[in-house]
Amino acid sequence: MDVAEPLKGVTVLDFGQVYNGPYCGFLLAQAGARVIKIESTKGETLRGPGRPVNGTYPFATLNRGKECITLNIKKKEGQNLVRRLVEHADVLLENFAPGTLAKYGLGSDELRSINPELIYASSTGYGGSGRYKDYLGMDITLQAMTGIMSVTGQADGPPQKAGAALCDFLGGIHTYAGIVSALYERARTGIGSTVDVSMQDCVFPTLLTQLGAYFQQGEQRPRTGNRHAGLAAAPYNVYEAKDGHVAIISIREGHWRKLCEAMGEPGLASDERFSSVRLRSKNMDELDETVEKWTRRHKKAEIFSKAQAFGVICAPVQNLEDVVNDPHLHERGSLVWQKHEGVGEAVFFNTPIRFKGKNTPYLKEVAPLGEHSNAILSEMLGLGKEELEVLKKEDVI
């Protein structure tokens, strides 16, 4: 089977840090691009202190398939090397604090004046314009600022963050989309562009359900835990099973009738308390108690199997052990068990972007810090052995 490499021939300079930028670089690498990860001489934060070889599990996961070089952009020699590399690159990707590269004369205007075909992609907390543009942002602060925390948790509890790093990865995904869009435009015009991604912008659309209720009622409703954000659909909750919990959702009359059949109580569908969406929402507590009486008598797998047989929208609440061993994800090739030096045996993921009839490219294990510095600077800039030795001695590379 052919390998899907739609971005083969594209060269990316990846200054990504932690999750946001590196995930974008990972997606580019899995699409066939040549991704050159540029780190400081001490290594990127996520490698972990004192672990320059292969880093932490998150680092090893997000930076597979990339060539790793070091450049000290605080030194003029390092800045000059970046300018020279840009002449040979298609894309520069970064998610530093706002203005970091510009401070060293490496902003988008400067670098695109050197290479007008360059696509300079920046992903920051609040974007490159507006009153918040200089604010620092990490996932938890973006969850706070964007409203995610205000709608997460129980009504009588404090705001909660989502357990996953949603804002970071949404930023990485949108940056990837921006880069691919810019590459398409460049193919038509021959001119590069500057991609400006705000994590805050990326998150806002995820609040549509809560925003619908807000505009309908003129105010924000209390947090609803696992229930429907507008308390306008039931059953819509997480229910206790013999060995854990299951999530069940019913938003149409047909869904509700099928659930009643799955529970062995078809008469519930016409019960006057539950006979319409409005009445089920009104009597939500009684309805949840009724459903949970059924789920408590069965194990998660039994409930899930019964739900699938009757066309009920349901899923077991899986823990991390369940997820890393999910047979469906392994059958699709989305997850692969691999041994990794330092990390040991662990699951690594592949890109969610697939092309029918084609495999995703295999990505090599993440490289040690600076492993490809000499080879790339020699290949792309023609630097000789003596020049490289001087640069290393002066902590430029």
**Three-state DSSP class for residue 3:** strand
Task: Check if the beta carbon of residue 345 is closer than 8 Å to that of residue 337.
Answer: yes
DSSP state of 97: S
The pair of structure tokens assigned to 120 is 């300079």
**CA end-to-end span of the chain, whole Å?**
40
Say which amino acid occupies 203. V
d(CA 70, CA 380): 15
> What dihedral angle (degrees, nearest 10) is formed by the CA atoms of 394, 107, 180, 330?
50
Examine the residue annotation and report whether 168 is marked as an active-site residue of this protein: yes
Of 328, 343, 382, the residue nearest 63 (C-alpha): 343
Long-range pairs, 349-353, Cβ under 8 A, ≥24: 349/61, 350/30, 351/26, 351/27, 351/30, 351/31, 353/27, 353/30, 353/31
Say which amino acid occupies 198. S
C-alpha 209: how far from chain center: 21
- Among 139, 168, 196, 288, the active-site one is 168
As annotated, the active-site residues are: 168
